[in-house]
């Protein structure tokens, strides 16, 4: 695994327009807003399973329906292809929450 250079980072971020580059250029970050806490926790669980499979874990936080995720690779002191791949996975997972019809727990009989 190697650190992405500035050109590679810029190219990768073009495919992730909602993600921001940290001031030091060593991480990318995005905030997600879901319908409720249950969706947020489910989203985090989905990301956690993908992260565990790849042995690459995010820095993140959750407040009710909001999830903030930061990807960085400490071993290279910056961004790697794995950070970009997992950010893309986050985007794909997040899109699925709005592609399907959402049924809230409060609405169940």
Q: 47-51, 89-93, 97-101 — which is least confidently predicted?
A: 97-101
Are 66 and 33 in contact by the 8 Å Cβ rule? The answer is yes
Q: Mean pLDDT, to the nearest integer, of 78-92?
A: 96
Q: Is 3 domain-assigned?
A: yes
> Is there a contact between 26 and 83 (Cβ–Cβ < 8 Å)?
no
Contact by Cβ (8 Å): 70, 27: yes
Residue 98 lies in a domain: no
Q: How many domains in the chain?
A: 1
Give the mean model confidence (pLDDT) for residues 86-102: 81
The pLDDT score that the predictor gives to residue 108 is: 46
- The verdict on residue 4 lying in a domain is yes
Residues β-bridged to residue 109: none
**Measured between alpha carbons, how far is residue 77 from residues 4, 64, 73, 86 in Å?**
10, 31, 6, 17
Q: In this structure, what CATH number is given to the domain that contains residue 18? A: 3.30.1360.20
Boundaries of domain holding 13: 1-75
Query: Whole-prediction pTM value?
Result: 0.87
Residue 104 lies in a domain: no
Backbone φ, ψ for residue 37 (5° rounding): -65, -40
pLDDT of residue 100: 45
């Amino acid at each position: 695994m190697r650190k992405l250079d500035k050109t590679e980072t810029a190219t990768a971020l073009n495919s992730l327009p909602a993600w921001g580059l940290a001031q030091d250029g060593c991480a990318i970050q995005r905030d997600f807003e879901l319908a409720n806490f249950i969706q947020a926790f489910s989203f985090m669980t989905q990301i956690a399973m993908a992260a565990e499979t790849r042995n690459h874990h995010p820095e993140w936080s959750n407040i009710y329906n909001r999830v903030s995720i930061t990807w960085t690779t400490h071993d290279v002191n910056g961004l790697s292809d794995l950070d970009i791949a997992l950010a893309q996975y986050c985007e794909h997972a997040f899109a699925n929450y709005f592609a399907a019809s959402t049924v809230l727990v409060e609405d169940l009989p």
